[in-house]
Structure 1
């Protein structure tokens, strides 16, 4: 078996901001021009792959038909590699995330997307994160008022998040202070990812509201490509998977990091 990883030409992605703020047009006056702000980011897709060789004897003695699922297993491995690359960005620079186009890391006070540390994942902590999301300012000017859509957590906070969502759906009291959990939390879609460290949770808006992370595939492949070939010199069958993909954060405005100390 062997691995391959080749670097391709840099691709440019544009995080398109909102149109400029409107100005009053007086009677008989001309409209003023404004710019359509663009925030350009560059990244490259990379090629990942693996090969497996199954001997004739192994194929013949496979009574359970496990090797018939080889192509499916390699496709799943390609999906894992893609997720590994994407979620590794959350851990970059000691959890501050990758450096953005402005030279500042993804999660930073200057970006207004780093909440104060909380002792636990609770309604009060999510409320503070929601404020940061709402108060983001568009590239073209003006408040974006982004609505929260996803709650992304590590397995360590999965149960606490489920309790929060359930209590919110029933408008129940929760926590040591017996505080009422508001119903907006129940509308969040919970996403649990084992690749994340347990020291934080993340509140994200919908990708339709603002550019966040862009995932790219090689257009010619359109996803993982699995091929198989019969060997001539040796009685065996070779399987090869190739997956060419890349990912890049385009905008910090659509995600808020909530550090959790416990």
Structure 2
């Protein structure tokens, strides 16, 4: 052990070769003169390296004896490698405030909103003519488009993939389809400045006056505006539930409003009134849309907020359509054209030795009824 300890010290100091450490270049096996001490040292060194290789020695022994600089080829790559998982796709929220539909083909589809006949009955005198009403219609039109993405892997890359890094790629394509749907619907109601300027206007009466910041009072005003909606004939539009949609900048604020269990008000005379609950949580849900931060490129991304009526009511604020027969994203792979001599197909291209996969998704949509939503830029002006 004393001899071996000295040998380890000399290895650390890089001051000797293997032959010099263990007594020169004399033959050990088959020689007439045997050196038991030298043979024992060699066997001990072999046992030490064997134990290190199969994890039978503590790592501290290895660190004290040898460093990675002693073996530049062996430790050129890390012995401890780990593959991190990819980022998780955003949780889709659009189904909570946009109606899902199915279209038959790529031709434009039309949706019609009718009104004009519904209304209060008029009192009619004896032998008098009754009121004759006419129906009006408002058309909405959109078409679906095809969206694709894919990848190709070389044969060498797959052989070298000891961490199975490429096994995740088809799942990444599937999650790309989820992100694409959420992003598309976000662009229907949001633009660079927040609420989409085409749909949220003073003329449509769906942009809150003063663009108030998100608060309980402002949210109450937005919900009240939705509840007071009237059609062209002045008939009330029933809104049974609403969804509050915000970006990540207002996620905590929205949740705090929803989770409030007590609300206090003070009147002009200083009297305090305690209200159990927050007064707005009934039939209200909160959706955090992560793509708002990407679509709204100004500071309004952190302040804008939207309120939508239940999309399953009479009319939705938006409609998102998928192609019939392709409602779900479809994953494809290129048919291999390589076969071994003697039989057996290989999943590679004969010319390039690459394996290819792609995903295809067909969807589209449109903004339908501006009465079914209210928004604010949250700028306070």
Please classify the TM superposition score into its range, dividing by the shorter chain length. Answer: 0.7 to 0.9
| Aligned residues of 1:84 and 1:195 also touching (Cα < 8 A) | yes
Residues 145-194 of structure 1: per-residue CA shift (max 9 Å, x gap): 42442110111111111111111xx23449xxx98563332541110012
- Give RMSD over aligned pairs: 2.9
Structure-2 change in CA distance of 1:235 and 1:31 (3 Å):
farther
User: Does structure 1 residue 198 correspond to structure 2 residue 302?
Assistant: yes
Aligned residues: 245
The 10-residue stretch of structure 1 (229-238 or 140-149) with the greater mean CA deviation from structure 2: 140-149
In structure 2, do the counterparts of structure 1 residues 57 and 189 end up closer, same or farther at CA, with 3 Å as the change threshold? same
Within the candidate set 218, 226, 241, 2:323 is matched to 218
* Higher normalized strand content (fraction of residues): 1
- Report the counterpart of residue 128 of structure 1 in structure 2: 221
Q: CA deviation at 1:86?
A: 1.6
Which entry has the higher C-alpha Rg, 1 or 2?
Answer: 2
Q: Which residue, 8, 27, 51 being the options, matches 2:150?
A: 51
Please tell me whether residue 166 in structure 1 is matched to residue 259 in structure 2.
yes
Deviations 1:107-155 (A, max 9, x none): 1122121112355311110111112111222256412142442110111
Q: In the TM superposition, what whole-angstrom CA distance separates every residue of 1:15-72 from its partner, at most 9, and x where no partner exists?
A: 3558511414758988765445432112221111112001122222333333233222
Taking a change above 3 Å as real, the CA distance of residues 93 and 58 of structure 1, as seen in their structure-2 partners, is closer
**How far apart in 2 are the matches of 1:208 and 1:28?**
43
Which runs of no fewer than 5 residues in structure 2 stay unpaired?
1-105, 266-271, 293-300, 337-348
Q: Are the structure 2 counterparts of residues 12 and 93 from structure 1 closer, same or farther at C-alpha, using a change threshold of 3 Å? A: farther
Q: Separation in 1 of the partners of 2:286 and 2:324?
A: 31
Question: Which residue of 1 is the match for residue 161 of structure 2?
Answer: 62
In structure 2, C-alpha distance between the alignment counterparts of 1:193 and 1:41, rounded to whole Å: 25
**How far apart are the structure 1 equivalents of 2:310 and 2:117?**
19
Which ranges of structure 1 fall in alignment gaps of 5 or more residues? 1-7, 99-104
Q: Which residue of 185, 189, 195 corresponds with 2:285? A: 189
TM score, norm. by length of structure 1: 0.80
In 1, the alpha carbon distance for the partners of 2:368 and 2:157 equals 47
Say if 2:378 is the partner of 1:260.
yes
Larger RCO, structures 1/2 (Cα 8 Å, 6+ apart) = 1
Kept after mapping to 2: 8 A contact 1:14/1:250: no
CA–CA separation in structure 2 for the residues paired with 1:71 and 1:34: 57
The answer on 1:246 being equivalent to 2:364 is yes
d(CA) in 1 for partners of 2:220, 2:127 = 47
Cα shift readout 1:60-94 (whole Å, capped 9, x = no counterpart):
23333332332221111122122222212333384
Partner residue, 1:102: none
Provide the secondary structure at the position in 2 that maps to 1:227. Answer: strand
CA distance in 2, matches of 1:11, 1:186: 36
